[in-house]
A = this chain, B = another copy of it.
Amino acid sequence: MTDGGGTWVLGVDSGGSGVRFALGRAEEGSPAEVSASDEPVRTGRTGIDAGHLLGQLVPAAMELLGRVGADRVAAVAVGAAGMASLGDDLRAKLPPGLAGAFGVRRVALAADAVTAYAGALGQRPGAVVAAGTGMIALGTDLTRWRRADGWGHLLGDCGGGAWIGRAGLEAAMRAHDGRRGGSAALLARAEALFGPAPELPGLLYPRTDRPAMLAAFAPEVARCAGSDPVAGAILREAARGIAESAAAVCPGGRAVTPGAGAADGENAGAARGVTADTARGESVSECEVALTGGLFRIGDPLLVPVREELAALSPSARTVPAAGDPLAGALLIASALARDELRLPHHPRMLWVTTEQDT
């Protein structure tokens, strides 16, 4: 019940199912104490609601600090879903709020893909795929971030849970209609899960969580993939989508022209680089790719084709296990920030850092 003179840091992971907190020593980087709330932070007209997050964060941090007998933290890192596009309120209000509550001056606000990256690979260059209902890939050579996909269920998320489930339900409806490309096995699974096929549109379209309902069918597609060729082809194409995103963000996996390739809209010019480089078989440095997120609980029916597709697309890529989860990643970023050792690239929307002195 004493802080032993060490430096404490706080990591926060804010997601769709709630907020998790981890307190650890800056020197160790692993959590000493953790807690969680099952109340997701609200999103309002100004984006993610900073006041709502602070209202959970401050008492949770107080409680964790109390457990170790400390009263201040040297750095805080918050990873949040939607930070890239919805983080304005957080960037404006979280640093002064945290300074007022704990005297902390070092604050990092990160997109959830960045905390997933840090949790999986630490501060090494490489790439991470985060796949659940959606799918996004993020890579860095430690000079800039590259992002691929993560555009949602209508514009991309190619190979994610909603993508797989949607393709599976389309194959079910094809079988129902007697169209080419149908799967009787997937039709049977769809009707077992959701009822008669013709009533599926009436169940799906009125919902606000359509991607989640689509993703709920992904495990059924995976279950059929071993015996049903249509389901197998869907998982193969999902694996290809995931590998394409991983390959696009792998540092060293292709020629990176200076100025091209940053996250959030600057890497369009490199579009044709992938195929050309791999076709020439150039010698490039190895790229570690970590596959993270709930979708990969599907296991081998997805993992095996992902590794095969990635090997074909980007011979320098090698899949590696993720060391930790996004909460561990947030804590790692906070620790690095406290020790002046943050090497992951700063970026206004991906990894925003403030180290202002008290004025």
Contact with B along A185-224 (1 / 0, CB 8 A): 0010000000011101110110000100010000000000
Interface size class of A (residues with CB under 8 A): 35 or more
Q: Which of A90-98, A170-178, A289-297 contacts B (4 or more CB under 8 A)?
A: A170-178
Per the 8 Å Cβ criterion, residues 66-106 of A in contact with B are 85
Beta-carbon contact of A201 and B155 below 8 Å: yes
Beta-carbon contact of B313 and A154 below 8 Å: no
**Quick one: which of B146, B176, B196, B265 contacts A198, CB cutoff 8 A?**
B265
A155 to B190, CA, bound (A): 12
List residues of chain B with CB within 8 A of the CB of A261. 178
**Copies of this protein in the complex:** 2
A146 to B148, CA, bound (A): 42
The smallest beta-carbon distance between A134 and chain B, in angstroms, is: 11
Beta-carbon contact of B177 and A147 below 8 Å: yes
Beta-carbon contact of A151 and B244 below 8 Å: no
Q: A177-B267, A178-B267, A184-B268 are in contact. List 13 more A-B contacts (CB 8 A).
A: A85-B202, A146-B178, A151-B200, A152-B201, A154-B210, A154-B214, A155-B166, A155-B201, A175-B271, A177-B245, A178-B268, A184-B271, A198-B264
Listed A/B pairs (29) with beta-carbon separation below 8 Å: A149-B173, A149-B179, A151-B173, A151-B201, A154-B166, A154-B214, A155-B169, A155-B173, A156-B170, A156-B173, A174-B244, A174-B271, A175-B268, A175-B271, A176-B267, A176-B268, A177-B267, A178-B254, A178-B261, A178-B268, A178-B274, A179-B245, A179-B248, A179-B274, A180-B244, A182-B271, A187-B268, A197-B265, A197-B268
Residues of A within 8 A of B (CB): 85, 146-149, 151-152, 154-156, 158, 166, 169-170, 173-182, 184, 187, 196-198, 200-202, 204-205, 210, 214, 244-245, 247-248, 254, 261, 264-265, 267-268, 270-271, 273-275, 313
